[in-house]
Each structure stands twice: as C-alpha cells, then as structure tokens.
Amino acid sequence: MTRYLVLLGPPGVGKGTQAKILSERTGLAHISSGDLFRENLKNQTELGKMAQTYMSRGELVPDDVTIAMIRQRLSRPDCAVGAILDGFPRTPAQADALDAMLQEFKGCVDAVPFITAAEDVLVERLSGRWTCRAHGHIFNEKFNPPQKTGVCDFDGSELYQRDDDKAETVKRRIHVYLEQTSPLIAYYRDQGKLIEIDGMHSIEQVSQSLLTALKMQSS
Ligand code: AP5
Ligand code: MG
C-alpha cells in the first residue's frame, strides 16, 4: 500500500534521524528537503546557490522552488511505494501543494507524526550534531557518537558541522519554525492525522514510539 508520512517538528528534534530509521525499517523512501538543497549546493547548481542564501540566514527558501523540487523528487520510481517527508511541508502553501500533488499520484498524507522537545534540548542537540558529507548520515558527539571521531560509521566519509547550526542561526530557525511552520500542527490535527510523539527520549525509544503509533512492522 502506498503510504505518505509527514514528519513535523522543530529544528533539531530528530526528524532526519527518525526518517532514516523508519525508511530502513519500512522501505518507504526518505525525502528531506534540507538534504536536497544541500545536495544541490554540493553540486553547485543554481537552485543550490540560491537556496544557500536563505539557509545561511535560517530563513525558508521560497515556496515555489521548494514545491517544484519536491514534486520532481516524488516522481522518482523509489517513491512508488510511498515516502517519508522530512522538512516538507513547512508552510500552509506547501501543505496545500502537497495535497494537490499526492492526488495526482493517487495518494494522500496518511499520518503526521509531530515530534516535540524542549527548546534547550534542541539547541544542545544541534550544537553537537555532525553530518556525513557523502550521504547525510547523522551523528551527535554526545548522544550518538561515531565510532571514530570525524568519520562516518556507514561510508567512511568525513563528518562536518552544518553552517546553520551556529547558535544565532539556530535561534532564527526556531523562530521561523514557530512563526511559519507551527500553523501546520492545527492544519493536520483538524484532519485527524496528527500523532504527537515525545522526542525527549533516546533515539531508539523515539523510533519505537513512532513504529507503534504508526502500527508499522519493523523488518
Ligand atoms: P533542514 O535540513 O530540514 O533543517 P531543520 O528542519 O531545521 O531540521 P534539522 O535537520 O536541523 O533537525 P532534525 O529534526 O532533522 O534533527 P536531526 O535528526 O538532524 O532545513 C535546513 C534549511 O533548509 C531550512 O532552514 C531552510 O532554509 C531550508 N528548507 C528546508 N526545507 C524547506 C522547506 N520545506 N521550505 C523552505 N525552506 C526549506 O537531529 C539533530 C541532532 O540531535 C543530531 O545530532 C542527532 O544525532 C541528535 N538526536 C536526534 N534524536 C535524538 C534523541 N532522541 N536524543 C538525543 N539526540 C538526538
Ligand atoms: Mg534534518
């Protein structure tokens, strides 16, 4: 059955971490809008260079280009089984566009896990995050350290700290989330799709809560 899930939650709450785990355990494709922008920047595409001007300030990339990028990604064959959307939608306009897009693919948003954590925890997690250059695997120097400092456990590539994880940019991102993305909580709650997940526990405990709430079998 084709399933589309939207992972909602503030910066640093663990959307990327949980999306990767859910994707491995369920076979659903993982679509991260932030990773797609960063991949474009790595390849020095016009989209990547444009997105970077917003990302470095902690602002949202304009809706039209973001929506077009996600539409293209959803059209790829690996999404035929469904997808976990991580970081998209982030505005009411993006949520409307997603509903319209999924209708074209004969689907709809099935469930919206909304992961929560206290703001000081978000800041602490982001300040210790290390990301792999090759495939975006996510580590944390305190909560999920790699076996060898600075090296990805999965593909041996270099780990780096994201530019937008600087303290003042993190503050801006949280502010932008509260202002522009938090209206989606009511949007999906009103549709009966929102599932609140307490993100204050360990990575594995949060994964278990997600799998249980979504009633998905771990493979
Ligand atoms: P994006 O890359 O999506 O960043 P974000 O939403 O700010 O979220 P993060 O990736 O920072 O956090 P996360 O929730 O994925 O947490 P993670 O799993 O890494 O977007 C970046 C930028 O791109 C935006 O600011 C914007 O400019 C642009 N953009 C993206 N999408 C857009 C859109 N739709 N529209 C417009 N612009 C868009 O975990 C964080 C850390 O915590 C890691 O170190 C991890 O190991 C650790 N951790 C995770 N879970 C736990 C746990 N349970 N316990 C302890 N540590 C944990
Ligand atoms: Mg992320």
Coil, strand or helix: which one is 97? helix
Q: From the CA of 2, how far away is ligand 2's center (Å)?
A: 23
Q: How far is the CA of 1 from the centre of ligand 2 (A)?
A: 26
Instruction: For residue 68, give the ligand nearest its CA.
Output: 1
Domain boundaries, the chain: 3-118+182-218
pLDDT digits (tens, 9 = 90+) for 176-186: 999 999 999 99
Is position 133 annotated as part of the catalytic site? no
The dihedral of CA 40, 10, 78, 24: what is its sign? positive
pLDDT band at 215 (very low <50, low <70, confident <90, very high): confident
Sign of CA dihedral 60, 129, 22, 210: negative
In tens, the pLDDT along 123-161 reads 999 999 999 999 999 999 999 999 999 999 999 999 999
The Cα 78–Cα 96 span in angstroms is: 23
CATH of 3-118+182-218, one of 3.90.79.10, 3.40.50.2000, 1.10.3230.20, 3.40.50.300: 3.40.50.300
Residues with CB under 6 A from ligand 1: 9, 11-17, 33-34, 37, 54-55, 58-61, 66, 87-88, 90, 94, 125-126, 128-129, 138-140, 143-144, 164, 173, 199, 202-203, 206
73 is catalytic: no
Confirm whether 25 is a catalytic residue.
Answer: no
The model's pTM = 0.97
Q: Which residue's alpha carbon is nearest to atom 8 within ligand 1?
A: 11
